[in-house]
Structure 1
């Protein structure tokens, strides 16, 4: 009789285990996957909005101004010359607060 009761109890414990796995995957989505997708979308929007004359920094730390924009990349003018980079290599843009002389040039 005891064996029958133990087997019945084992069948009921499957639901909490499945619930825990489901909660784990939902947690992982909101903690890891969703922020990564948002970051990737933000980078794509930034790379799509690049304009000629913008001051940028590449992922390797090169500072320069965008001279030309092509389908497959951008040409960045630095103090030592012009270099061609992929759009994905552009990491961020300079701000007017950091370089106030460039803000005065635009006026």
Structure 2
């Protein structure tokens, strides 16, 4: 049994190349760069696009909400919009719930 332990100790001494620590940092940095370009950067781009969409909302725009509801904006507040869903039915939603702005006349064609 003692010869197995001696082999294990003999293998651990000097087994790692001298640049192994540096290569670990390079791989860790490469992983961070990969995560930035694959996950973080596209998410920030989508956030900027949604923020500009919400800021440009105006009265008379036809929108789709994240819940799938269609409507025409009748009033725009700082944080809220009033949406005309059907005749005499006005609903108030947060601006952030707007998913997309539709071309004019889309609701009538549906």
Work out whether the TM-score is over 0.5. Answer: yes
Deviation at 1:101, TM superposition (A): 6.7
- TM-score, normalised on structure 1? 0.80
3-state SS of paired residue (2:79): coil
Q: In 2, distance between residues paired with 1:12 and 1:28?
A: 24
Moved over 6 A (4+): none
Structure 1 portions without partners, runs of 5+: 103-107
> Aligned-pair RMSD on alpha carbons?
2.5
State the number of aligned residues: 98
3-state SS of paired residue (1:6): coil
1:55 equivalenced with 2:74 (yes/no): no
Larger Rg: 2
Question: What's 1:72 paired with?
Answer: 79
3-state SS of paired residue (1:56): strand
Contact kept? 2:62, 2:107, Cα under 8 Å: no
Task: For residues 49-95 of structure 1, give each alpha carbon's deviation from its aligned partner in whole angstroms, at most 9, with x where no partner exists.
Answer: 00100000111111110000011200001115000000001111112
Structure 2 portions without partners, runs of 5+: 1-9
State the structure with bigger RCO (CA 8 A, min sep 6), 1 or 2: 2
